[in-house]
């Protein structure tokens, strides 16, 4: 009887050696799937980063055009070199660029991480302040005879650089770079 039980137990035992190739194959499929998923995620990240950097470049070009236009209007002795129509034309172009830059800045601020969004908000605020103040027909600028125009334009340039620095920074250093830029600006 004991002999029959041992024989029955021997027939019911699983021969694991037969299943090792299947386990190895299943492990290979799982590992291959994880590697494929990781590579696709990395590719999506690179695509998003390239798109974001393209948008940042467009914003920097637009904000530079706005800054240069406003600076041209307020250059010393410009009233003797440019006619009223030329000044109005430059101001209209700056206003047109401002509308396009504002739309791109708002879109970028909503679609990126909070550190880039914060840098976008700073640039948006400085562009808005400079455009409102340096408009040839603005009340705040006329009241002070555009005394602070250089400071307004320097703020725009600093915030452009901040946006570029933060957007280029590696993911884990964006917060530190933004904090350093804010500290530098507050130190001025």
Which of the given ranges, 34-43, 53-62, 83-92, 138-147, has the highest pLDDT on average?
34-43
d(CA 163, CA 86): 31
CATH code at position 127: 1.20.120
Tens digit of pLDDT for each residue in 96-132?
A: 888 888 888 888 888 888 888 888 888 999 988 888 8
Q: State the residue range of the domain holding 73.
A: 51-187
Nearest CA-CA partner of 100 in 136, 141, 131, 142:
131
Section 17-44 average pLDDT: 92
Indicate whether 87 belongs to any domain.
yes
Residue 165 lies in a domain: yes
Q: pLDDT tens digit string along 140-167?
A: 766 777 777 788 888 888 889 888 888 8
Number of domains in the chain: 1
């Amino acid at each position: 009887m004991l002999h029959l039980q041992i024989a029955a137990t021997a027939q019911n035992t699983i021969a694991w050696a037969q299943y090792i190739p299947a386990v190895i194959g299943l492990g290979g499929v799982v590992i291959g799937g994880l590697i494929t998923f990781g590579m696709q995620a990395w590719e999506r990240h690179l695509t998003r980063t390239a798109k974001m950097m393209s948008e940042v470049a467009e914003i920097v070009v637009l904000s530079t055009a706005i800054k240069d236009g406003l600076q041209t209007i307020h250059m010393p002795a410009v009233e003797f070199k440019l006619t009223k129509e030329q000044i109005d034309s430059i101001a209209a172009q700056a206003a047109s660029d401002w509308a396009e830059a504002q739309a791109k800045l708002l879109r970028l601020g909503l679609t990126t991480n909070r550190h880039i969004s914060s840098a976008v908000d700073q640039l948006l605020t400085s562009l808005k302040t400079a455009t409102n103040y340096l408009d040839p027909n603005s009340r705040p600028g006329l009241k002070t005879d555009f005394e602070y125009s250089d400071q307004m334009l320097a703020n725009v340039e600093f915030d452009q650089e901040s946006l570029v620095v933060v957007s280029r920074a590696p993911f884990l250093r964006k917060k530190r770079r933004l904090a350093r830029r804010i500290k530098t600006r507050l130190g001025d």
